[in-house]
Amino acid sequence: MKEFHTRRTEHDIDPIYLQRWSPRSYMDKEVPEDVLMRIFEAARWAPSANNRQPWRFIIARTSEDRDRFHTFINERNRLWCEKAPVLAMLISDTEFPVSPFDSGTAWGFLALQAAREGLITHAIGGFDKEKASEVLGIPGTFEPRIIIAIGYLGEKEALAEDFQQRELPSDRRPLEEMIMEGRYREAE
């Protein structure tokens, strides 16, 4: 059994899974090009049905590009993600039925590689997809899935007080609530 902060596993796994979490406090520090490209390289190697790789990333590293992203991010999320030095929009092909699943796998690979690189990531689902498509020129054959804030962990005291209370790694439900033998059953 491994432990990280207050997180505990029921079985022995690689510590990277416990180290990866989704904080909201970012340091004002640029992510070097080689480090950033390594996390996208990891996403590139995610498995996908028929090797279609239906995901794409639109990244914002300049203040001008990040400001463009801020126009379609819900205000509550924008308040904390404005300090993130990199924002990435994950989009996926709408003409391929399992594209959301495959794209989620790419996000997972990216998040784990980012943790290995000493970066933090936070997926943001609170944004206006129609406006994002319009502002970023996303064609109708692709759908915005999530925005990913990427950077280095900052001090939680830099966040608004209500965000500070949630700025700790969370635990997970027990395996016995997630695994069902043979058929669906409600957790007891």
Q: Which domains does the chain have, with CATH numbers?
A: 31-166 (3.40.109.10)
The closest of 43, 62, 71 to 129, measured between CA atoms, is 71
> Residues 141, 95: contact at Cβ < 8 Å?
yes
Average pLDDT, integer, range 116-128: 97
The closest of 63, 76, 86, 55 to 125, measured between CA atoms, is 76
CA angle 152, 143, 21 (to 5 degrees): 25
- Convert the pLDDT of each residue in 141-155 to its tens digit: 999 999 999 999 988
- Banded pLDDT at 3 (limits 50, 70, 90): very low
Q: Is the pLDDT of residue 1 over 50?
A: no
Average pLDDT, integer, range 36-60: 98
Q: Both tokens of residue 161?
A: 């007080």
- Convert the pLDDT of each residue in 68-114 to its tens digit: 999 999 999 999 999 999 999 999 999 999 999 999 999 999 999 99
Mean pLDDT (the chain) is 90
What's the CA gap between 15 and 101, in Å, rounded? 24
Residue found under tokens 């608004």: 160
Lowest-pLDDT range of 15-19, 48-52, 155-159: 155-159
- Banded pLDDT at 159 (limits 50, 70, 90): low
DSSP secondary structure, the chain, as one string: --EETTEE-SS---THHHH------B-S-PPPHHHHHHHHHHHHTS--GGG---EEEEEE-SHHHHHHHHTTB-HHHHHHHTT-SEEEEEEEETTSTTHHHHHHHHHHHHHHHHHHTT-EEEEE--B-HHHHHHHHT--TTEEEEEEEEEE-B--GGGS-HHHHTT-S------HHHH--SSS-----
Q: What pLDDT sits at residue 162? A: 57
Q: Both tokens of residue 142?
A: 């692709």
> Residues 31, 152: contact at Cβ < 8 Å?
yes
pTM: 0.88
Q: What pLDDT sits at residue 178? A: 84
CA distances 160 to 36, 156, 157, 180, Å, are 28, 9, 8, 40
Average pLDDT, integer, range 14-41: 92
Average pLDDT, integer, range 51-60: 97
